[in-house]
Amino acid sequence: MLFTLILALISFFRYGIGADYFAYEFLYSRLSDSLITEIKYGLDNQELGFKIMGSISRSMGIPYQSYLAIIAAINLFYIYKMSVKYSKNPTLAMFLYFSMFYLVWTFSGLRQGLTIAIGLYYLLKCIKENKPYKIVLISIALAFIDYTALVLILLYFISNINFKKNHLILLTVISVIFSILPLGFIFNYIPIPFITEKLGPYLQSGLSFNLIDFQSFSRIVLLIIMFVFYDWLVLDNYFNKRILNVYIISMLFYFILQFTGELTAARLSRV
């Protein structure tokens, strides 16, 4: 709890930290303080739920810095709850979050950071309690803040598949090979206007091999570690097995979607 409070204080009183800090400040300044006006005539294309959150805050006279503090508090509250409830070592879990995701999803990616924190807490809860309808409703609600929250529905149903260790290793190898293929280059030459128009901005135009970059290499190392300790981690605990399987599959999204570019692949895999 002390560690979480320290992280919260840092996030509350930050200024200019985070790649999107000033971008979100600009978007916040353009929101109308009238909810109806914002919904009808909003200047920027943001998810409806996030626009409503910002517009309500503006109507209450909440300054941008306080608005960020509220979002960070909600984010860290759910990360804390998740760590305490589902980790044998909550402090280590919080430390890993700080080391890997804190500066990105608490400080910068406000929308996705919020949906990841809330969504993953309820994903674990619904997996443990076998409540598919609940996670569907929660994911749809969170999609109004960030549309990638819909991936949580897919992850829930993936958790019900009884993957064996060798199945996951095979899927990992296939995904890594898939990431090397120049699919972005190929898609750019498909003579179908819908595909080129919708996917074009997200596709890599060149022939690039991303297997040797840091993002790919670090994920491969982490996957190897998980496979080495897989049998021990899932020993006599089906819930742990479902969670570990979901985590591995979600990491494979990164390799499968690499042809769309680093940003899209990273966002969906982190969910």
Q: Is the same domain home to 137 and 199? A: no
Q: Is the same domain home to 245 and 184? A: yes
Q: Is the same domain home to 144 and 251? A: no
Q: What is the mean pLDDT of residues 171-195?
A: 69
Q: What is the pTM of this model?
A: 0.82
CB of 269 within 8 A of CB of 253? yes
Q: Which domain holds residue 231?
A: 165-270
Question: What value does the mean pLDDT of the chain take?
Answer: 83
Could you say which of 157, 189, 224 is where a domain stops?
Answer: 157
**Coarse DSSP helix, strand, coil percentages of the chain, rounded to the nearest 5 percent:** 75, 0, 25
Q: Is the same domain home to 55 and 150? A: yes
Q: Is the same domain home to 172 and 197? A: yes
Q: Is the same domain home to 7 and 129? A: yes
Q: Is the same domain home to 137 and 230? A: no
| 3 state SS of 63 | coil
Number of domains into which the chain is organized: 2
Q: Is the same domain home to 189 and 60? A: no
CA separation (Å) from 123 to 118, 132, 133, 148, 160?
A: 9, 9, 11, 14, 12
Q: What is the mean pLDDT of residues 173-186?
A: 74
Is residue 175 pLDDT above 50, yes or no?
Answer: yes
How many helices (H) and strands (E) the chain has is answered by 16, 0
Q: Is the same domain home to 57 and 181? A: no
